[in-house]
Amino acid sequence: MSEAGAKPISSNVDTEYPLVHRSRFPEGRTVSIGNVAFGGEDFVLIAGPCAVESGDQIEKAALEVRDLGASVLRGGAFKPRTSPYSFQGMGLEGIELLRRASLRAEMPCVTEVMSVEDIEDMEPRIDAFQIGTRNMHNFALLKAIGETKKPVMLKRGFGSTLREWLLAAEYIANGGNDNIILCERGIRSFSGETRFTLDLAGAIWAKEETHLPVIVDPSHATGLPKIIPAITRAAVAAGLDGAMVEIHHNPEVALSDGDQAMTPAEFKAMHQSLGPVAAAVGRKLPK
Ligand code: PEP
Ligand code: MN
């Protein structure tokens, strides 16, 4: 353990990941992005485009998702694309546009960090770092993010075990930053009809095993806007803490992940369908 790392409070539980293990905070913890708490009574929605494409696009998206019930704005500026020929994101310019949209809409933002060298420029401009599925095993990045003061949304690697996911969280906590939200975003399985397979049981297990909030990303997990509402309702019913959803005003021309983007109207309909499920399990949707 590094000197800076928070020390485990409970030492009578034998675990590989003492800092994130549930025994440290048996009641569980809330972790806040800006003024939005995850892990409390609310089922929190994070929404926005896969990628920041322009100032107008991200600002319009921010105002709209805020009015439709989202509490946190998302938008990628550093995009980990499968092909080097695909749109790679706007980089720091995109971070600045995201920041402006977030201030304008008065909602906090989260965005992916891909490289240690970008942390310093990003940290003052954003409300939370996202570690993407492809970087869950990037230990240099995990260590560096552990030394920051901003909350971290840690996505599960799409080929990673639950143990590896929690050990990645432990890396971050070991640097001194245990404000971590776990995000199950789908793992790779043998069927191609859905883009990935949402491991709902694994997400529930992670919530029981740790003191951290756990959310899902139904957009990347399914790749199919039509079934995102149903899988999100399942996450609400399962007692998870939130969902991150990609929206776009015109998915057909989106520069990344257009196929899985919901329109604002679809997002609105989904939002309306979540309330009764939340009420049935003693949770609520903010606003
Ligand atoms: C994203 O959120 O846009 C993203 C790239 O997610 P993941 O790392 O889960 O693929
Ligand atoms: Mn995406």
State the CATH number of the domain containing residue 261.
3.20.20.70
5, part of any domain: no
143 pLDDT exceeds 70?
A: yes
Q: What pLDDT score was predicted for residue 1?
A: 36
**What spacing in Å lies between the alpha carbon of 178 and ligand 2's midpoint?**
25
Contact at 8 Å (CB) between 241 and 31? no
Judged against a pLDDT cut of 50, whether residue 3 lies above it is answered with no
Instruction: Report the nearest-CA residue for atom 10 of ligand 1.
Output: 133
Residue 257 lies in a domain: yes
Q: Is the CB of 160 under 6 A from ligand 1?
A: no
Express each pLDDT in 181-204 by its tens digit. Answer: 999 999 999 999 999 999 999 999
In the chain, pLDDT over 90 holds for what percent of residues? 95
17 assigned to some structural domain: no
Rounded mean pLDDT of the chain? 95
In a domain, residue 287? The reply is no
If we measure between CA atoms, which residue out of 186, 185, 158, 181 comes closest to residue 169? 181
* Domain hosting residue 209, numbered range: 43-280
Beta strands in the chain (DSSP E): 31-33, 36-38, 44-48, 72-74, 109-112, 128-131, 152-155, 180-184, 214-216, 242-246
Q: Does the CB atom of residue 133 touch ligand 1 within 6 A?
A: yes
Q: Which two tokens stand for residue 158?
A: 């799409």
Distance 133 CA to ligand 1 centre (A): 6
Domain presence at residue 32: no
Which residues keep their CB under 5 angstroms from ion ligand 2? 50, 257
| CA 10 / ligand 1 centre spacing (Å) | 34
Residue nearest to atom 3 of ligand 1 (CA): 50
Q: How far is the CA of 282 from the centre of ligand 2 (A)?
A: 31
Counting atoms of ligand 1 from 1, which one is nearest the CA of 132?
Answer: 8
- Is residue 111 one of the residues assigned to a domain? yes
Number of domains in the chain: 1
pLDDT digits (tens, 9 = 90+) for 229-271: 999 999 999 999 999 999 999 999 999 999 999 999 999 999 9
State the closest ligand 1 atom to the C-alpha of 183, by its place in the atom list counted from 1. Answer: 9
One-letter amino acid identity for 202? Answer: G
For residue 98, pLDDT beyond 90: yes
Q: How far is the CA of 9 from the centre of ligand 2 (A)?
A: 37
- pTM equals 0.95
- The per-residue pLDDT for 13 is 80
Q: With respect to residue 31, please indicate whether it lies within any of the assigned structural domains.
A: no
